[in-house]
Structure 1
Amino acid sequence: MKIIKPIALAFLLPTALGAVKASPTSMTYEARTILVQDTASWNKVLPFDQEVKTGKLKNGFQYYIRKNVEPKDRVTMYLANKVGSVLETEQQLGLAHFLEHMNFNGLKHFPKNALVDYLQKAGVRFGSDLNAYTGFDQTVYQLPIPSDDADLLKNGLQVMRDWAQDALLTDEEIDKERGIILEEMRGGRGAQQRMRDKFLPVMLNNSLYANRLPIGTEESIKNFPYSELRNFHQQWYRPDLQALIIVGDIDVAQMEKEVVRLFSDLKMPANPQKRTELTVPLLNKNQFLAVTDPEMTYTMGQITIKHPEEKVKTVSDLRRGLLKAVYNSMLSARLGELGQSATPPFLQASVGIGGFLGGLDAYNAFFVAKPKEFELGFKALVRELERVQKYGFTETEFKRTVAAFNKGNETSYIERSKKKSDNYVNSYLNNFLEGSPALSNEDSYQLNKQLLPTLTRQEVEAVGKEFYLDVNRDIIIMAPDNEKASLPTEQQVNTWFNEVERENITAYVDKVSDLPLLAKVPAKGTITSTKAIPAIEAKELVLSNGVKVILKPTTFKNDEILISAFSPGGTSLYSDQDYYSAAQAGDLVNSSGVGQLNTIELQKYMTGKNVNINPYLSERTEGLSGYSDKEGLKTAFELINGYFTAPRIEDDVFKSTITKAKSMIVNRESNPNFVFSKNVMESLYSGNIRRVPISNEGVEKIDQQRALAIFKERFADASDFVFTIVGSFTEEEIKPYLEQYIASLPSLKRNEQAKDLGIYEPNKGFEKVVHKGQDQKAMAVLTYYGDYKFGEVENLNLNALESVLSIKLIERLREEESGVYGTSARATTSKYPKNRFSMTVSFGTGVEKYKGLMNSTMDEINKVKKNGPSATDLEKFKIEQRRQLELSVKENKFWLSQISSAYQRNEDPTYITRYLKDLDKVTVESVKDVANRYLNEEHLFKFILLPDEVK
């Protein structure tokens, strides 16, 4: 089960509508259109989505039911509980989260682990599909299942009913789960947790929230009496605090009848305790705290200014939310621009007004400082805030940002008929838990469309001034121990505020370009041949310059076009001396402008366009990937042409990239996970520079001109490129762009192939132990490497082996031995430069447990080698594959990947049409055979991370 991170230093800021909160109401469409035209009527309550069936049973239980056919034959169910860790007593710390776990370990109709077993047999993936989370104020259970199976649908509802009130909570299962949660707790330990424990009381103003982290305490989890958990369950899992949300391809009326039948008998406790809304009090003072840790790898500062929460109930509130969102977008864009300068004052920075916690909103500004340069970063951030306070924004910034919001609104509306059920579920979930408005697609579109033009730049600036105050302000600093001496005191920080305020700050200049992206329109080429690929409803075109283009028009989205292109070669064609420049070339070009526009000009040019094209260089290929809508197709193809014919690496971008790379290297050796990963890669590949993390010396070897020259070399010949285009277009719509911008690309007919660099793992396995870190925890990684017989059925058998091993390892290491929070097997294969495979099992656990768990892992592997998988576990794999394929074949990104990968590997792009037949060829014996051929102990590598040795 996943646990929501209750709070972090840099709070996640909501989107324009993410923080909105409202009460359900009903309103006619005619009233709504008048509503936003007359400012006097803006105080009317926002309309509730009338396309969802809602109800409230006599016992207080609520429900939301909606029909939605995206995806077809699927339904998503959520059980929401207004029950979280803030309701715990001192004797119940961590029990809200513990109870969430227990709802997967024995229910009235699904004793012990029968729930997970049953749903896996139906193709539901534990963790990916079947899941839950616990927060301060809520616990939420989720179950997406097929709706075309009447029995499965009926039992899915029964699961929700059992989750609502019928957990068995046996002594045996409680005791087994203690170890699992202790391992989850152990896995969360580290620098972030240790610093969080220090700054949370300050950020949360010493409210109850600071002492109610959902994970609880080790002492509580180990020692709480069974009765405490049962009492918590009985007191708080009750119908007046619960709601069921069901969205999918269902009969709404029939579903409502079943909900009424199943949930009407939920009982209230004899003496229900009042569910009070807890808050974080405002102290009307400023606070300061600097915390350090030896394993922290960077220095981060945050300014948090707390305000009473502004709930969104009316149209006027919604409009104010838009003003905040526009402010956030414009100011963050300025900070991003500053961060791309030749000598960036910080590594990263962002600002936003949004939700906080406990009845508060907050103005949050944070930055990541360069090593030993906290003052520089702090003043640069505050300077930008002051610049806006003094001069506001430019009209061009404002219009550009509003245009981007309008574009987003239009895009959402165009895709409304393809909107996924999960999106609706989340809207209704927030409506129940937080009172957020649940607007219909039509209402959301019309309200935003009519409100956005009413916004003014002066209002946006005024909102910023309301929130950027010098009271209820927290300054929190997190840093490595070795930065402690250079960190400021509270007095110094206050002095810096005053110094920046007295500076002669000048107004921001919005630099835009009127130049077109390309200096000239390229001369057209032609399409020389066309070949149908009827099995997958696609077409292969060959252009006059040799470029191949595979087109697959679809109706999976109303206006989404995905583009991918590749050519063989990549960095493998360059010497070790050139490697660092080659490896960074794609990112450096991608971070720069293109054609006639520099980086900043290009970013502004792209604002309001639903287009993105990214060039890359990998080890064996170079290419591009991206997306567009129909309106942006010309821009997308101009960008593609520009990256081939007019790429650039700007001085500022290069210098900024190098500065940031060096800064991030400084403290990374203090991170146990980095040290572990580095040691693993160095031992496997003898320190080969193409496999280990880049060093400071490596960064120094990146040459700007050489990187650009390498990029140009890789894109100088389009003749061996293959483009795959999938989405909502017709062949006739796309052809003119192919002729104008792709067929015109240069062609040298080089016929290159990537080079085999001979970088492989050793033939004989070994064990390596790395000591790093102060926490008493261990990480074990067991991997088999070796040669492989790459093939369609062989790959399926290896994937089946991965699946059945994962099932057995969870059953053994987690459920039976309570030794891990999570574990799995993971298989990878490669066809080029030669057939290779790996199979990895990894888990985190206690130092005292890892050896025993490694032995248990090997025991489960040997069982599969000796007996093969159980027929039941193999069938779970097969049904999951079938069910996932039903969904995948209706996604543009799936087809883009399938087709492009097939061409890269010189395989049949129609294979997916035969996939299910091959799946039937996978048997207990074939998986057993694969296990014995590849899981050879001679090729097993064991890597273990342990804490620092006591000296």
Structure 2
Amino acid sequence: MMNLNKALSAAVLALLIAGSTNAQVKRKPSPSPRSKPVPAAAALRPANLLPVDDNVLIGKLPNGLTYYIRHNEQPQNRAELYLVNKAGSILETDAQQGLAHFTEHMAFNGTRDFPKNQLVDFLQKSGVKFGADLNAYTSFDETVYQLPLPTDSATVFEKGFNILANWAGYVTFDPAEIDKERGVVLEEARMRGKNAQERLSLQTLPVLLNNSRYASRVPIGKEDILKTFDAATIKSFYSDWYRPNLQAVIAVGDFDVKRVEALIKANFSGLKNPVGEKQRTEYNVAPTPGTVVKIATDKEFPYTLAQIIVKHPQTVVKTIPGYMQSLRVSLFNFMLNQRLNELQQKPEPPFLYARSSYAPLIGRQDAFSSVVVSKPDGLETAVKAVVAETERARKFGFTLTELERAKQSALAGIQNAYYERTKTNSANYVREYQLNFLKGEGMPGIEFEYNFYINNINKITVAEMNALAGKFISDQNRVIIVEGPDKDKDKLPDESTILKWIGTAGNNVAAYVDNVTSKPLMEKEPEGTKVVAETSNEAIGTTTLTLGNGVKVILKPTQFQNDQILINGYSFGGTSLANDNDYTSASLSASIIGSSGISEFNQGQLDKMLAGKNVSITPYIGDITQGIRGSASPNDLETALQLIYLYFTQPRKDADIWQGTINQTKSLLINRGLDPNSVYQDTLSAVLSNNNFRGGATTVERLNGTSLDKAYSFYKDRFADASGFTFVLVGNFNPVLIKPILETYLGALPSTNKKETFKNLKMYPAPGQITKTVYKGMDDKASVQLIYSGSYVFNEANNLQMDALEEVLNIKLVERLREQESGIYAPGIRANYIKNPEGRYTITIVFTCAAANVDKLIAATLDEINKIKQTGAQPADIQKFVAEEARSTQVQLKQNVSWAGLLGSASQNDLDPNGILSHVKNLDQITVQSTKETAVKYLNNNNLAKVILMPEKK
């Protein structure tokens, strides 16, 4: 089944930013005591300005460079170093379009102290991975470089400030390096664009942005300029705008603050602002009187959607009244989208997807935006439905019970952040300081925010909330965008028609009725079973319990997060046990049940019951397993266990959810064939599953053969016997104290001792050489996947060698295909290996390129592979992998999510979980000879599938 939200994200998020929170808490928390005296600076602050977090040191050098420094120990022995430039594509001249982004690329291709590629090479050898850790981005208004570094190596850490200074003022722009990078940037443009979404954006952005400078300065730039600009033109942009009075250095991590301040002064004080510097113009988007409508279509766009965007001047939250208003806005967004979610639970939902929110927009604007994706022939129904909800809120407002739930949700989010204040990742602070530098956003710190929420949120009234809809909704400075496939152009409304739909949508709306229940989730506790066996693993700090019904529970208490417990449970079986006729019903069963509520409560009622709780539990059924995934705060662990018990014993059959899902999935399939990537994915799936229909996309014919009874029956069967289940709990708990509730709920799960396992359906690529080419798409854009596959002996030694081969391949293909050939932006290399249902591996190499370069780049890829097979990896490349793997392992050993994955994998694959403790030591098993042997064994051209997407032949 398609993931609708994921499928629509490109279309929806291109213009809109969602603004709501899902975390929830039950009780109003107590204020935190102020452990520190109020700083003298705070006493001088104007009464309505937000305070500044006194845990961050803010300073400015004589040349104007701003710095933010904060000590933070999450993760330990690590730091986040950022260089933020108030220089983006908006500052480009007509001749420089695309060169703000190109400058970002050149910062990695030669600076005063790091010629050519030496910077990336040095960092990789220090354990920093290019693209994953070391990265940068360019937007309209800023360019930001991120450099995560270890702090337990003084040499590497201190060199980081030299690197930031080189980016800030000493990029060399070697003409030869510029010419090599042209192809890379053009290939990035090809990979991210050359599709229906980009073509539609070119039609709609000038309307949305009122033909402002923002509309003509999309960061990727213009292809003809990228191909032909000279070094002087890009140097001019760099010298004009990369200057200390437009730059900030942000350093957050496990270090001495005063030492870091000295490093910043030493490395950045020598930077100078240009003589006769240009004024940094603040560009805006002029408001448009009335409403502007734009209808846009594209041959390959598979959806029909409408966006209604009411633009407002940007609000920068820097005062206490502004902060209070931002809290009201978040509550408004939450409540409105809860109503839209309820509409999707109907048997005939009026839309496939809908969201409304007030949030920042491009070009120093905020906007109240509604986006709705419809069935191909249902745009009127969809538009009227989403507009009716905003009109319902405007005319009748919200209910007291809705507002109370929204407040509980907001309190949960802030309480979680406060509880985790000593465990907050450094990158979270960086984002806050970045917004302060770029926009002037307040940064009062979590203690102030927490106390502000609990002291003020209950002052917000229904009347205040109801006034927001009238403030946000207007027919002035409004843009309406309709997008759809070319083939449905005659079904799309004209301007007067869509205005009529919107104008009349709220005519007959009635006040919202909040359907809530006061019943508890469970009337009484079940009779559980006691622990019948208990073992401990002191080396990794786990306890394994066996309950009387056969359920096994692996407990790993940690202090990595203060307010988190992760829960994962599994047993073998999955959809492999469904017969072919029932497979499609079986594959839908867990998602249907997981969206249908529980026991006697429908999903809407359940969501409302769980307001005030920080808990999420979801059942799943995969190919060979079924189980439960979820998380909870320590205070809500019992609720999580109750949900698990009910998903086993009282799953809810909801005919409305079933019918709605089937109808929506059929609607999505109607235009699926328009999208080149969907067509390509079908061929890939066929190759990867050896043409097994289970590996392919769902079809209307298959959906017509499904039934809720079959799905429900299959789900019930998969969760009828918990005796084969293993649960892993990782997080902040005391194993002794939680044992009674584990016995009560997990110990009460049904047990029949069927001792089931999966069936091996042999869904893997056929042996031999396979070449499949799909011709689909208008643009000069090709996608290539090379897939090596075969039998595999799954063990820690082999897995380590495969991981090393994956990274060595990545390094060599970046060097060859990107740096040398200038033919791609970034390769994707993935070594995947499994033990169940049988030992198999695939090594997949993915890249996007120009159609004319496909054969050349495949040949170059095979050439690099052949070199590794002949001589093994370069020692320097092995050094990079070992450094990266050692660094990442150190971080992962301090993360709940990593331990949950490790313990679950060890259990499913019958591995020794203690192996993680010797993982770093075992990295010395990676040698030139071992990489050669691994490449020869697994990169066998006799078992190679080539699956290629080419543009349509003209």
Normalised by the length of structure 1, the TM-score is 0.96
For the pair 1:387 / 2:396, whether they are aligned, the reply is no
In structure 2, C-alpha distance between the alignment counterparts of 1:746 and 1:309, rounded to whole Å = 56
What displacement does 1:31 show?
A: 7.6
What is the aligned counterpart of 1:196 among 193, 201, 209?
Answer: 201
Letter in 2 for 1:856: A
Letter in 2 for 1:624: I
For the pair 1:915 / 2:914, whether they are aligned, the reply is no
In structure 2, C-alpha distance between the alignment counterparts of 1:656 and 1:30, rounded to whole Å = 57
Contact 2:10-2:197 at 8 Å conserved across structures: no
What is the aligned counterpart of 1:607 among 586, 605, 611?
Answer: 611
Contact 2:21-2:409 at 8 Å conserved across structures: no
Identity of aligned residues (%): 42
What displacement does 1:633 show?
A: 1.2
Match of 2:416 in 1: 411
In structure 2, C-alpha distance between the alignment counterparts of 1:259 and 1:327, rounded to whole Å = 43
For the pair 1:420 / 2:425, whether they are aligned, the reply is yes
Match of 1:163 in 2: 167
What is the aligned counterpart of 2:97 among 69, 82, 93?
Answer: 93
In structure 1, C-alpha distance between the alignment counterparts of 2:552 and 2:400, rounded to whole Å = 45
In structure 1, C-alpha distance between the alignment counterparts of 2:84 and 2:641, rounded to whole Å = 46
For the pair 1:580 / 2:584, whether they are aligned, the reply is yes
What displacement does 1:384 show?
A: 1.0
Match of 1:267 in 2: 272
Match of 1:278 in 2: 283
Match of 1:704 in 2: 708
What displacement does 1:760 show?
A: 2.6
For the pair 1:119 / 2:123, whether they are aligned, the reply is yes
Match of 2:362 in 1: 357
Letter in 2 for 1:263: F
Contact 1:518-1:596 at 8 Å conserved across structures: no
1:422-460: CA deviations, max 9, x gaps? 011111111001111112221111122222111111101
Contact 2:21-2:413 at 8 Å conserved across structures: no
Match of 1:462 in 2: 467
What displacement does 1:835 show?
A: 1.0
Match of 2:824 in 1: 820
Match of 1:139 in 2: 143
What displacement does 1:6 show?
A: 13
Decide which moves more: 667-676 or 445-454: 445-454
Match of 1:788 in 2: 792
Match of 1:442 in 2: 447
Letter in 2 for 1:74: R
Contact 1:590-1:614 at 8 Å conserved across structures: yes
Match of 1:765 in 2: 769
In structure 2, C-alpha distance between the alignment counterparts of 1:492 and 1:243, rounded to whole Å = 50
Normalised by the length of structure 2, the TM-score is 0.96
Match of 1:52 in 2: 56
What is the aligned counterpart of 1:370 among 369, 375, 378?
Answer: 375
Aligned residue pairs: how many?
Answer: 932
Letter in 2 for 1:329: F
1:872-893: CA deviations, max 9, x gaps? 1011111111100100000011
Match of 2:638 in 1: 634
In structure 1, C-alpha distance between the alignment counterparts of 2:599 and 2:739, rounded to whole Å = 23
What displacement does 1:849 show?
A: 1.0
For the pair 1:882 / 2:886, whether they are aligned, the reply is yes
Contact 1:781-1:842 at 8 Å conserved across structures: yes
What displacement does 1:43 show?
A: 6.0
Contact 1:528-1:542 at 8 Å conserved across structures: yes
Letter in 1 for 2:65: F
What is the aligned counterpart of 1:694 among 691, 698, 715?
Answer: 698
Indicate the SS of the match to 2:59: strand
In structure 2, C-alpha distance between the alignment counterparts of 1:684 and 1:831, rounded to whole Å = 17
1:608-660: CA deviations, max 9, x gaps? 21100110001111100100011111110110000110001311110111111
Letter in 2 for 1:539: T
Match of 2:749 in 1: 745
Indicate the SS of the match to 1:321: helix
Match of 1:24 in 2: none
Contact 2:790-2:943 at 8 Å conserved across structures: yes
Contact 1:405-1:608 at 8 Å conserved across structures: no
Match of 1:221 in 2: 226
Superposition pairs of residues 562-573 of structure 1, within 5 angstroms: 562-573=566-577
Match of 1:20 in 2: none
Gaps of 5+ in 2: 1-8, 23-33
Cα separation, partners in 2 of 1:325 and 1:367, compared to 1, 3 Å:
same
What is the aligned counterpart of 1:804 among 784, 804, 808?
Answer: 808
What is the aligned counterpart of 2:155 among 131, 151, 154?
Answer: 151
What is the aligned counterpart of 2:114 among 96, 110, 115?
Answer: 110
Indicate the SS of the match to 2:448: helix
In structure 2, C-alpha distance between the alignment counterparts of 1:428 and 1:852, rounded to whole Å = 46
For the pair 1:336 / 2:341, whether they are aligned, the reply is yes
For the pair 1:897 / 2:913, whether they are aligned, the reply is no
1:856-908: CA deviations, max 9, x gaps? 00000000000000111011111111100100000011111111111111222
Superposition pairs of residues 657-676 of structure 1, within 5 angstroms: 657-676=661-680
Indicate the SS of the match to 1:307: strand
In structure 2, C-alpha distance between the alignment counterparts of 1:134 and 1:15, rounded to whole Å = 26
What is the aligned counterpart of 2:177 among 163, 166, 173?
Answer: 173
In structure 2, C-alpha distance between the alignment counterparts of 1:15 and 1:712, rounded to whole Å = 34
What displacement does 1:917 show?
A: 3.1
Indicate the SS of the match to 2:917: helix
Contact 1:6-1:214 at 8 Å conserved across structures: no
Match of 2:489 in 1: 484
What displacement does 1:30 show?
A: 7.8
What displacement does 1:133 show?
A: 0.2
Contact 2:316-2:439 at 8 Å conserved across structures: no
What displacement does 1:14 show?
A: 4.5
Contact 2:20-2:333 at 8 Å conserved across structures: no
Decide which moves more: 297-306 or 481-490: 481-490
Contact 2:21-2:334 at 8 Å conserved across structures: no
Letter in 1 for 2:794: F
For the pair 1:774 / 2:778, whether they are aligned, the reply is yes
What is the aligned counterpart of 2:501 among 475, 489, 496?
Answer: 496
Indicate the SS of the match to 2:838: coil
For the pair 1:257 / 2:228, whether they are aligned, the reply is no
Cα separation, partners in 2 of 1:103 and 1:847, compared to 1, 3 Å:
same
Contact 1:805-1:824 at 8 Å conserved across structures: no
In structure 1, C-alpha distance between the alignment counterparts of 2:563 and 2:321, rounded to whole Å = 31
For the pair 1:313 / 2:336, whether they are aligned, the reply is no
In structure 1, C-alpha distance between the alignment counterparts of 2:408 and 2:873, rounded to whole Å = 57
In structure 2, C-alpha distance between the alignment counterparts of 1:87 and 1:812, rounded to whole Å = 34
Match of 1:682 in 2: 686
Indicate the SS of the match to 1:782: strand
What displacement does 1:758 show?
A: 2.4
Letter in 1 for 2:734: T
In structure 2, C-alpha distance between the alignment counterparts of 1:365 and 1:750, rounded to whole Å = 51
What displacement does 1:390 show?
A: 1.2
In structure 2, C-alpha distance between the alignment counterparts of 1:645 and 1:947, rounded to whole Å = 51
Decide which moves more: 440-449 or 929-938: 440-449
Match of 1:870 in 2: 874
Contact 2:786-2:944 at 8 Å conserved across structures: yes
What displacement does 1:918 show?
A: 2.5
Contact 1:809-1:824 at 8 Å conserved across structures: no
1:120-177: CA deviations, max 9, x gaps? 0001010110000000000000000100101101111100010000001010001111
Indicate the SS of the match to 1:768: strand
What is the aligned counterpart of 1:535 among 534, 539, 564?
Answer: 539
Cα separation, partners in 2 of 1:570 and 1:42, compared to 1, 3 Å:
farther
In structure 1, C-alpha distance between the alignment counterparts of 2:529 and 2:491, rounded to whole Å = 61
In structure 2, C-alpha distance between the alignment counterparts of 1:566 and 1:42, rounded to whole Å = 57
In structure 2, C-alpha distance between the alignment counterparts of 1:461 and 1:158, rounded to whole Å = 53
Match of 1:23 in 2: none
Contact 2:690-2:764 at 8 Å conserved across structures: no
